[in-house]
Amino acid sequence: MNEYKIEAGTAQHIGNRAQQTDRTALFTGARAPGYVLAVLADGMTGGASASEQVLQSAKQMFDEFKPGDRASTERLSQLLRDMVQETHSIIRMNTFTTKTEAQSSFVALVISPFGEAVWAHTGDSRLYRFAGGQCKARTSDEAYVNHLVEAEKMPLEAAKNHRRAKTLVNALGNAERKPFATVGVHGELAAGDTFLLCSDGLWSLFTDAELGAVTAKNTPRQASELLINKAAERAQGKGDNCTMAIVKLVRPPAPAGLGTRPAARP
């Protein structure tokens, strides 16, 4: 039995933009008791249509997922990769119907009832893993750059410039290439572990240490309020959409009567 319980929450703020194109949600699997999915998407073009499709596809595929006795981390990783490719295909099909290009980032986390976490990301949204407030892992563009160099034989400098090249952007819905999903795994989850999924409207304004400290010292709701308020202050009227999902593992309360002992008499 895992010696922790899950506290989780989502939050977002429109910032100083005319439209909120980020989307995020937390799901439990209809056929996967004990499994939890957190998803976040940042609509990059075409408004919120692509990011909404990310959540719709992720929920449908997670509801259809049957883990059996115990799903391996490899199978959970493939589930997330399938979400990326399936959603990308649907967004592209919708483009032909609406005649409007739409793209979105993707970051998702699955926590199993066996103390394992698996995550995947595509684009410029991020996932952080903190332990005791210290950043132990975070998603980055490094794996995508390596993919462009090794799999597509692209010169290193050209690959590093992918953010400035429309044809190289790693996003669901990109007409030029299929999205590349980077996957991470962590076993032996314990109380004190925290996962933060967020759009660039949040992470671009904070250091890893700041994010770790705020999420460690507060509940997900308290942390999200503090981060949104501070993000608005730091953006100085130029804030992007700011969206996050926080999944925090905390020690469950001791059973009644076992938490304290009466003081000894002199």
pLDDT attached to residue 33: 96
pLDDT attached to residue 232: 96
Contacts of 170 (CB under 8 A, 6+ apart): 122, 123, 141, 144, 162, 179, 180
H helix or E strand, kind and range, residue 49: helix 49-64
How many Cβ atoms from other residues are within 10 Å of residue 224's Cβ? 26
pTM above the 0.85 mark?
yes
Beta-sheet pairing, 103-104 with 117-122: unpaired
H helix or E strand, kind and range, residue 76: helix 73-98
The residue ranges of every structural domain in the chain are: 5-250
> What CATH number does domain 5-250 carry, 3.60.110.10, 3.60.40.10, 3.20.20.70, 3.40.50.20?
3.60.40.10
The H helix count followed by the E strand count for the chain is 7, 11
pLDDT attached to residue 256: 65
Return contacts of 224-228, CB within 8 angstroms, 24+ apart: 224/9, 224/10, 224/11, 225/11, 227/202, 228/11, 228/12, 228/13
pLDDT digits (tens, 9 = 90+) for 181-218: 999 999 999 999 999 999 999 999 999 999 999 999 99
Residue numbers in the chain where pLDDT is lower than 70: 1-2, 143-154, 156-168, 256-266
- 261: amino acid identity, one letter: R
